[in-house]
């Protein structure tokens, strides 16, 4: 499976490019899907340690607002993206130092609580953030060249695909490294890890900061693509969406988040109009269905089919 | 302890250790010196405080009184990680394996823990780690099941894998909590032979809690008899195991019902028993 | 010379009175969450939705045409009990019972999914426009509260009824858990589930009972809150994180501790409402984080054996 993964990834990337080419109206959707996939990759790292964050959209919001605030003075994609990642990572480090003392419900709920705090700050400090109206992102450039029209769409799509590919590689290497394997050890026998002389908190902190950086990159891409940021980016429903995609994509593979995100966004485009009022409800029901009946998610279903195909 | 008093033949020195859970005194003034290179067996009825002694020595529990010195340095109340770094390893009554990993990965994680775990991009199963891990598993006779998941092993293999992980850290002192409990009677002596050979080769000092008197008799240099948080007797197995007081207090119980004494008591998975 | 107190004294008095009323509501919800977690070992993320649905149900039942004014109060209670008695058992039977043996992360995800479902269900039934019905508050009228040589007119509903109900809940619950057989059974399950089950206690029945009680308490909190505020989507989410903040700050499994902490957080929040409105939502979490940094087990929680 692991050996086939790079080829699957390549095939998937080519398929995305082909679809974006053939159906330009989907390019925007696919860019957002890739961005969300990056954030979900971070959720996946934490799930590997048996921890689920109900508040990770806050780091996406941090990345997005960094873009919105900095765009007027230095609106270059190549500057804004690293800046958003660094800021999200730094905030992730500070919060992580506190939050990695906790596991399970405390871990989940403290993340949720902190994201609600960020949401309400973004909403209440109108003078700085324009409250729930949000901020329009100033015109952007890439490597000094101004971006406009259809070209901007392609640039953002390409950026999202490149960043996604980089983080896919990072996560893939990280998860088979001693630190990545130690994450799964936190889930099964944290005590033993400590008796091996390894700081479980340190192991979790690294994953937490990495996940914050990933969400920050995702938020920056979303802001640069949609050119509008609002506090809703930090709202619990956005965090819930990330968790939902993580479970939908399945916790097994590193491609899962992207598979899940693309599936999710495409369904949303066509179904959200029909189910606008009960979208969260539909997500909740689907989440229950996946957890109770298909714990491997979409990725698990595909992996199962592949195994069966190879066996016959 | 002052340098003048220091006795170089002593590796671990416990003085007046006290710890009570509610009204139960798990350690009621424990004095014990472990000599370099010896195999010291701890015997006694369930609830006598044997595991508590290991938990205090390895930093899992903090004693309410008394002190522990290791190699001349006070380690009382240090965190487990700090104690491990000083060369004290432990294995568990309920093997603490990473159940979602294979035996090889478990061993590799222990080796990586010794070498330094903080390499985000080098695979855990690099050639050099695999070589050392296989060599380690080979010594414990576990190489044949290296690709099995840790939660699929039988009890004997789990015990050995657990101890193998502790020895991967190359400790100078190894504390083992009932290394043979749960191991089938037919395998028991083979397991202990393997264990003793590996530990002697690596010049590891060993303290082990044991209920099987045959194992104690054959493999310990000295025996400490625990009873209600105190040490009742201490000496060579030939003497201690023939002491009438000891026989009445400890061995009488074991002789009547060996299965009850083999540590199959109720215990939660995950945390070492207090 | 005019001191700070001369200028802001009345505001402070109002903040304290508001805080007391608010704390009473917060206590009602968080004690339910705490009870359910203690017995089932499942943190019900959808607990806040019971509060929200209880509030909406009370507002609509109370707003029915032709209802005599004196009936507004009993209707609140009736709405809460109905919501709790319907939602509690149904959810425990259909959903929670399947996941008691699962990993914590699965349990969290399942109740989170439930939370997503209930949030939309509530929007579907009551819409997104603010709903309010303050008949009960107006019916009880106001009273002049002397404060620092002045008087503050304050509603009797918030001054007497809310703290009174909360106090009755506190005393009643403590009595129930410590003095009655059923209560002791519940406590036994909390302390040691395996031993309690081994002694022949029917854990299934205890779980069902406890979860329903928790749902009723949350719905009651919402119903009592409904006449004092206008209801908008999102109160469920706010309520669950706030009640979690209370029980995390107090320490899991504490009843009296949860009451004191609710008071602390309630007062803190309402002082913020009057003096630093931007920080209103933030204050409870600042209190929580500050407490947890100093005492990871919470203000009243017993210190566990060292987490290695």
Residue-wise pLDDT tens digits, A14-66:
988 888 888 888 889 999 999 999 999 999 999 989 899 999 999 999 999 99
- Does B274 touch chain C if contact means CB atoms closer than 8 Å? yes
Furthest CA-CA distance within chain B: 61
User: pLDDT value at position C306?
Assistant: 36
C305 with B274: Cβ contact below 8 A: yes
Q: What is the pLDDT of residues A73-97, one digit of tens each?
A: 888 989 999 999 999 999 999 999 9
- Tell me how far the alpha carbon of residue B51 is from its chain's centroid: 9
State the nearest Cα–Cα gap between A251 and chain B, in angstroms.
14
3-state secondary structure C48-63: HHHHHHHHHHHHHHHC
pLDDT band at residue B2 under the 50/70/90 scheme: very low
- How far apart are alpha carbons C285 and A98 in whole angstroms? 13
Model pLDDT, residue B262: 41
At residue C193's C-alpha, the angle toward residues C190 and C197, to 5°, is 130
* Banded pLDDT at B119 (limits 50, 70, 90): confident
Mean pLDDT of A95-121: 89
**Contact criterion met (CB < 8 Å) for B271 and A199:** no
Query: Which residues from chain C sit within 8 angstroms of residue B58, using beta carbons?
Result: none
Tokens 């690099």 found at: B126
Pairing of strands A135-136, A228-229: antiparallel
Cα–Cα–Cα angle for A296, A302, A304, rounded to 5 degrees: 70
**Mean pLDDT of the region B243-263:** 57
User: Which residues of chain B neighbour C194 with C-beta distances below 8 Å?
Assistant: 266
Does C308 sit within 8 Å of B61, measured CB to CB?
A: no
| pLDDT tens track for B171-210 | 999 999 988 887 888 878 888 888 888 898 888 999 999 8
The ipTM (two decimal places) reads 0.82
- Give the pLDDT confidence score for residue C14 in this predicted structure: 82
Residues with pLDDT less than 70, chain C: 1-2, 65, 302-308
Cβ neighbours of residue A155 closer than 8 Å, sequence gap 6 or more = A77, A142, A147
Q: How far apart are CA B53 and CA B61, in angstroms?
A: 9
Could you state, in order of their start, the residue ranges of all structural domains in chain C? Answer: 4-231
- Residues of B at the A interface, defined by Cβ within 8 angstroms: 58, 79-81, 84-85, 89-90, 92, 96-101, 105, 108-110, 112-114, 117-125, 165-166, 169, 270-272
- Which chains touch A (3+ CB pairs under 8 A)? B, C
Best residue in C192, C302, C306, C307 for a mutation probing chain B (most B CBs within 10 Å):
C306
- Do B97 and A189 lie within an 8 Å CB cutoff? yes
Smallest CA–CA distance, residue B167 to chain A, in Å, is 10
Interface check B190 vs C, CB under 8 A: no
CB pairs under 8 A between A and B: 95
The residue among C232, C229, C218, C14 whose CA lies nearest residue C134 is C229
Tell me the mean pLDDT in the region B98-124.
86
- Choose the most confident range, by mean pLDDT, from A88-97, B129-138, B152-161: A88-97
Would you state the pLDDT for residue C65?
65
Structure tokens at B266: 């109720």
Secondary-structure percent of chain B, ordered helix, strand, coil, rounded to 5 = 40, 25, 35
Higher pLDDT, A215 or B7: A215
Model pLDDT, residue B273: 43
Q: Which two tokens stand for residue B120?
A: 């985000």
CB B222 within 8 A of CB B42: no
Identify the bridge partners of residue B15 per DSSP, sorted by sequence position.
B67
Please give, rounded to a whole number of angstroms, the shortest distance from the CA of C211 to a CA of chain B: 26
Nearest to A280 among C43, C95, C119 (CB): C119
Residue B253 pLDDT exceeds 60: no
β-pair partners for B30: B17
Q: Kindly state the tokens that stand for A34.
A: 């890739």
Residue C83, pLDDT score: 92
C-alpha–C-alpha distance, residues A195 and B76, integer Å:
16
Question: Does C293 reach chain A within 8 Å, measured CB to CB?
Answer: yes
| Residues forming a β-bridge with C173 | none
Question: What pLDDT was estimated at residue B222?
Answer: 92
C209-212 contacts: CB < 8 A, separation 24 or more?
C209/C182, C210/C35, C210/C36, C210/C39, C210/C40, C210/C186, C211/C36, C211/C40, C211/C44, C211/C88, C211/C89, C211/C91, C211/C92, C211/C96, C212/C84, C212/C85, C212/C88, C212/C89, C212/C92
Length of chain A: 312
- Per-residue confidence (pLDDT) for residue C199, from 0 to 100: 76
Phi/psi of residue B66, nearest 5 degrees: 95, 180
The DSSP code for A138 is: P
What does each C-alpha distance from A118 to A65, B21, C275 come to in angstroms?
A: 11, 44, 20
Six token digits for residue A140: 């952007």
C76 or A2: whose pLDDT is higher? C76
| Of A58, A69, A83, the residue nearest A136 (C-alpha) | A69
Q: Which residues contact A233 (CB under 8 A, 6 or more apart)?
A: A57, A60, A61, A64, A219, A222
Least confident of B33-47, B71-85, B128-142, C145-159: C145-159
Inter-chain residue contact C308 with B274, CB threshold 8 Å: no
User: How far, in Å, CA of C260 to CA of C307, rounded?
Assistant: 27
Secondary structure (H, E, C), A144-173: CEECCHHHHHHHHHHHHHHHHHHHHHHHHH
Domains of chain B: 3-97+155-261 (3.40.50.300), 98-152 (no CATH)
- Give the pLDDT confidence score for residue C92 in this predicted structure: 94
Please choose, from the candidates C46, C101, C104, C95, the residue with its C-alpha nearest in 3D space to the C-alpha of residue A288.
C95
Secondary structure tally for chain C: helices H, strands E:
14, 2
Residue B80 forms contact with C (CB below 8 Å): yes
Closest CB from A101, A104, A281 relative to C104: A104
Quote the CA–CA distance of C114 and A290 in Å, as a whole number: 13
Q: Report the pLDDT value the prediction gives residue A310, as an integer from 0 to 100.
A: 64
Quick check: C218 and C32 in contact, CB under 8 A? yes
Confidence label for A1 from pLDDT (cuts 50, 70 and 90): low
Average pLDDT, integer, range B222-228: 89
Asked if C166 and C184 count as a contact pair (C-beta separation under 8 A), the reply is no
Phi, psi of B169 (to 5 degrees): -80, 0
Residue in C closest to A280 by C-alpha: C116
- The Cα of B122 is separated from the nearest Cα of chain A by a number of Å equal to 5
CB contact under 8 A, C104 and A50: yes
Q: Are B227 and B249 in contact (CB under 8 A)?
A: yes
Size of interface B-C (CB pairs under 8 A): 12
Q: Is it the case that residue B259 has pLDDT exceeding 50?
A: no
Chain B contact present for C305, CB below 8 A = yes
pLDDT of residue B258: 42
Q: Name the burial class of residue C146, with classes exposed (0-12), middle (13-18) and buried (19+) by CB atoms within 10 angstroms of its CB.
A: exposed
CB distance A191–B124 less than 8 Å?
no
* B-contacting chains (≥3 CB pairs under 8 Å): A, C
Q: How far is CA C202 from the centre of its chain?
A: 27
State the pTM of this model: 0.86
Per-residue tokens: A49: 């340690």
Helix (H) or strand (E) holding B235: strand B230-235
pLDDT digits (tens, 9 = 90+) for A249-302: 875 578 889 988 988 888 888 777 777 778 888 888 888 888 888 777 666 666
Which distant-in-sequence residues (6+ apart) come within 8 Å of A223 by Cβ? A63, A64, A65, A67, A68, A137, A229
Closest CA to B60 of B26, B33, B28: B26
For residue A252, which of A182, A175, A187, A169 has the smallest C-alpha distance?
A175
């Amino acid at each position: 499976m692991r050996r086939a993964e790079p080829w699957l990834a390549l095939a998937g990337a080519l398929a995305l490019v082909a679809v974006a080419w053939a159906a330009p109206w989907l390019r925007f959707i696919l860019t957002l899907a890739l961005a969300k996939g990056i954030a979900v990759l971070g959720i996946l790292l934490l799930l590997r340690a048996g921890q689920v964050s109900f508040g990770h959209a806050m780091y996406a919001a941090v990345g997005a607002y960094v873009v919105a605030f900095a765009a007027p003075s230095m609106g270059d994609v190549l500057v804004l993206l690293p800046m958003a990642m660094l800021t999200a990572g730094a905030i992730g480090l500070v919060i992580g130092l506190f939050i990695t003392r906790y596991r399970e419900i405390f871990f989940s709920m403290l993340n949720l609580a902190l994201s609600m705090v960020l949401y309400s700050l973004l909403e209440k400090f109108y003078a700085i953030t324009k409250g729930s109206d949000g901020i329009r992102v100033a015109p952007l450039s890439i490597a000094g060249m101004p971006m406009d029209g259809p070209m901007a769409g392609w640039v953002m799509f390409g950026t999202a695909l490149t960043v996604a590919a980089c983080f896919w590689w990072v996560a893939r290497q990280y998860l088979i490294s001693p630190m990545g394997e130690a994450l799964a050890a936190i889930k099964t026998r944290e005590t033993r890890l400590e008796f091996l002389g390894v700081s479980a908190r340190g192991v979790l902190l690294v994953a937490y900061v990495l996940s914050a950086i990933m969400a920050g990159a995702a938020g920056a891409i979303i802001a640069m693509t949609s050119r509008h940021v609002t506090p809703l980016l930090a709202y619990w429903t956005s965090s819930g969406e990330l968790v939902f995609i993580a479970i939908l994509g399945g916790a097994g593979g590193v491609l899962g988040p992207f598979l899940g995100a693309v599936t999710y966004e495409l369904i949303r485009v066509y179904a959200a109009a029909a189910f606008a009022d009960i979208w969260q409800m539909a997500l909740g029901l689907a989440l229950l269905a996946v957890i109770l009946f298909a714990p491997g998610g979409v990725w698990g279903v595909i992996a199962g089919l592949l195994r069966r195909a190879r066996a016959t | 302890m002052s340098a003048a008093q220091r006795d170089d033949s002593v590796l671990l020195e416990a003085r007046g250790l006290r710890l009570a859970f509610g009204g139960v005194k798990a350690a009621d003034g424990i004095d014990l010196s472990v000599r370099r290179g010896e195999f010291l067996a701890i015997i006694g009825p369930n609830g006598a405080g044997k595991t508590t002694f290991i938990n205090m020595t390895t930093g899992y529990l903090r004693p309410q009184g008394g002190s522990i010195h290791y190699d001349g340095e006070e380690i009382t109340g240090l965190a487990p990680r700090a104690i491990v770094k000083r060369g004290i390893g432990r294995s568990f009554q309920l093997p603490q394996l990473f159940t979602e990993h294979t035996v090889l990965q478990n061993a590799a994680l222990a080796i990586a823990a010794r070498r330094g775990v903080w390499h985000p991009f080098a695979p855990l199963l690099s050639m050099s780690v695999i070589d050392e891990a296989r060599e380690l598993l080979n010594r414990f006779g576990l190489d044949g099941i290296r690709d099995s998941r840790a939660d699929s092993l039988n009890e004997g293999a789990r015990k050995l894998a657990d101890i193998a992980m502790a020895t991967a850290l190359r400790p100078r002192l190894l504390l083992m909590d009932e290394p043979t409990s749960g191991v089938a009677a037919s395998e028991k002596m083979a397991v202990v032979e393997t264990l003793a050979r590996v530990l002697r080769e690596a010049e590891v000092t060993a303290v082990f809690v044991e209920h099987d008197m045959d194992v104690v008799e054959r493999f310990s240099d000295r025996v400490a008899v625990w009873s209600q948080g105190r040490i009742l007797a201490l000496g060579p197995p030939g003497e201690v195991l023939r002491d009438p007081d000891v026989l009445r207090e400890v061995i009488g119980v074991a002789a009547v019902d060996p299965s009850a004494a083999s540590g199959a008591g109720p215990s939660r998975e995950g945390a070492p028993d207090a | 010379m005019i001191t700070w107190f001369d200028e802001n004294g009345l505001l402070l008095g109002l903040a304290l009175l508001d805080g007391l009323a608010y704390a009473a509501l917060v206590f009602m919800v968080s004690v339910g969450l705490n009870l359910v977690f203690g017995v089932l070992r499942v943190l019900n993320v959808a607990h806040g939705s019971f509060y929200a649905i209880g509030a909406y149900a009370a507002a609509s039942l109370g707003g029915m045409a032709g209802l005599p004014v004196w009936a507004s109060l009993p209707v609140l209670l009736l709405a809460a009990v109905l919501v709790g008695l319907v939602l509690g058992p149904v959810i425990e039977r259909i959903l929670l019972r399947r996941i008691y043996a699962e990993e914590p992360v699965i349990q969290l995800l399942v109740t989170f999914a439930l939370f997503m479902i209930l949030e939309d269900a509530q929007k579907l039934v009551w819409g997104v426009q603010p709903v309010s019905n303050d008949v009960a508050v107006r019916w009880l009228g106001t009273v002049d509260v002397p404060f620092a040589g002045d008087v503050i007119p304050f509603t009797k509903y918030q001054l007497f009824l809310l703290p009174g109900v909360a106090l009755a809940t506190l005393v009643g619950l403590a009595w129930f858990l410590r003095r009655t057989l059923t209560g002791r059974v519940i406590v036994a399950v909390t302390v040691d589930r395996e031993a309690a089950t081994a002694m022949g206690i029917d854990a299934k029945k205890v779980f069902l009972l406890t979860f329903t009680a928790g749902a009723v308490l949350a719905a009651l909190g919402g119903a009592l809150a409904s006449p004092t505020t206008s209801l908008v989507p999102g109160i469920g989410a706010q309520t669950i994180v706030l009640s979690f903040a209370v029980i995390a700050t107090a320490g899991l499994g504490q009843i009296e501790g949860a009451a004191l902490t609710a008071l602390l957080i309630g007062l803190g929040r309402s002082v913020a409402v009057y003096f630093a409105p931007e920080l209103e939502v933030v204050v409870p979490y600042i209190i929580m984080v500050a407490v947890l940094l100093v005492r990871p087990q919470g203000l009243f929680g017993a210190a566990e054996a060292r987490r290695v």
